[in-house]
Amino acid sequence: MKHFHLGTITLSIGLLLSACGGGGGGSMNGMMETGDTPSDPQPPPSEMQTAEMQTAFSGTQTRNVSDLTYASATQVATQSLNASQQPSTPIFGSVVQAFTSPRLSDVTGIETTFNGSRFTLQINRQDGSSTTLDTDHDDVLDVEEISPSENQVTNRNAAEGYVYRLNESPLTLTAAGVSVEWASTDFTDYLSGGYWVHVDINAQHAEIGAFIDGPEFERTIQVPVTGTATYTGRAGGVYVSRYGTDFPGVPSGTLEQGEYTGRARLTADFESSRISGRIDNIGLYHVSTMEPDGTIDYYPSLQNTDYEGILGAAPINQTGTFEGQGVTLTHPQVQITSSGSWAGRFSISDNAAGNPRAVAGTHRASFTTAGDSTGIFVGAFYGATERFE
């Protein structure tokens, strides 16, 4: 039986570790990273507040876990891909989209906590069960810390990393890629976002979702009735596809999985109560391919693509939330049929113009091609009208 080590190939859908068994191979979903300025100068000492940078993702040692077989890895990808095709309704409080296999209980929401030294993500379900990932008890790796000058969206300290748990009996995997940013004077004034996957490998059940959560996005707001606002920021999450017959040189049935990052730009028209946007500059990284004959290849570096996601106009509710079914995925060289959904909400804090200063949400885009290739993008987005702190 062909085996591969968790440190050299895919741990879960999109949770890809570096080829050396941990250590920086890029951030988990690109939501806080700039991607365009790898040689940014170090910020002045006033921005490098030591206490703020010692976070739940700092200096954690990963424990030893068993290898996954090739068959188990393909199950993770296949079941996650299948689950993502199921219908889902956005969940507000935070903003969550979750997709589950038919025999699993639906997700009713998530809860996060962050106090600087500890981060938790709790996934709650309709049957009363829950699953929690906790940086104090679970494995944490591939951490990247981001200073305010490197955070081009909001000018806040941030950190990114992976949290996961692999149970051997029964063989289950729960994993999340997480970004957290916070106010310089208060760890509890934070915003967290990312994705998770929960897979019972032997039973072939899966749950996959994306989330945005933090105090600034947990309450209703009074939505402006005039004017417009433009929000620019980042988007990212997980990507899974199964190749059909229309990609020369790639065996039909090959699974590909990884992460993506992109640039988000949204425009809110408060007079018409509509919001729309797009995610472009989409790049794939931490990509692995698994061919039907058991061949595995791994590509950690960012690969630019011509994918673009158009977020069709969605009505803005009086509570400051919005949801839409119009997501179109395009590629100039591939004929794609796509569908999807997206949802979000505005922040409770205003900018100088009196409009909400930030917007955050989740999205999913699924696609098929004429040659029976299929795939999904599931992730979160975050944008602001200005850098702030």
**CA dist list (Å): 151 to 40, 195, 285:** 11, 20, 20
pLDDT 10s digits, 296-324: 888 888 899 889 999 999 999 999 999 99
The rounded mean pLDDT for the chain is: 80
pLDDT 10s digits, 21-48: 233 333 444 565 544 432 333 333 333 3
What average pLDDT score do residues 269-282 get? 97
Q: How far is CA 145 from the centre of its chain?
A: 17
Percent of the chain with pLDDT over 70: 77
Statement: residue 134 has pLDDT above 60: yes
CA dist 40 and 154 (Å) reads 16
According to the model, what pLDDT value does residue 58 have?
60
Spell out the SS3 assignment of 308-328. Answer: EEEEEEEEECCCCEEEECCEE
The better pLDDT of the pair 72, 312 is held by 312
Percent of the chain with pLDDT over 90: 46
According to the model, what pLDDT value does residue 3 have?
24
CA dist 206 and 203 (Å) reads 9
Statement: residue 261 has pLDDT above 70: yes
Statement: residue 230 has pLDDT above 90: yes
According to the model, what pLDDT value does residue 48 have?
32
What average pLDDT score do residues 159-186 get? 87
This prediction has a pTM of 0.82
For tokens 């949802």, name the residue.
343
What average pLDDT score do residues 78-88 get? 63
According to the model, what pLDDT value does residue 153 have?
93
Task: Say if residues 111 and 289 touch (Cβ distance below 8 Å).
Answer: no
Q: At 71, give phi and psi (nearest 5°).
A: -60, -40
Beta bridge partner(s), residue 362: 343, 380
According to the model, what pLDDT value does residue 13 have?
32
For tokens 């899974």, name the residue.
240
Spell out the SS3 assignment of the chain. Answer: CCEECCCCCEEECCEECCCCCCCCCCCCCCCCCCCCCCCCCCCCCCCCCHHHHCCCCCCCCCCCCCCEEHHHHHHHHHHHHHHCCCCCCCEECCEEEEEECCCCCCEEEEEEEECCCCEEEEEEECCCCEEEEECCCCEEEEEEEECHHHCCCCCCEEEEEEEEEEEECCEEEEEEEEEEEEECCEEEEEEEEEEEEEEECCCCEEEEEEEEECHHHCCCCCCCCCCEEEEEEEEEEEEEEECCCCCCCCCCCCEEEEEEEEEEEEEEECCCCEEEEEEEEEEEEEEEEECCCCCEEEECCCEECCCEEEEEEEEECCCCEEEECCEEEECCCCCEEEEEEEEEEECCCECCCCCECEEEEEEEEEEEECCCCEEEEEEEEEEECCCCC
| End-to-end Cα separation, the chain, in angstroms | 53
pLDDT 10s digits, 174-218: 889 999 999 988 998 999 999 998 888 777 778 889 999 999 998
Beta bridge partner(s), residue 213: 192
Statement: residue 64 has pLDDT above 90: no
pLDDT 10s digits, 102-120: 777 889 999 999 988 899 9
**CA dist list (Å): 288 to 28, 31, 38, 89:** 15, 21, 24, 30
Statement: residue 355 has pLDDT above 90: yes
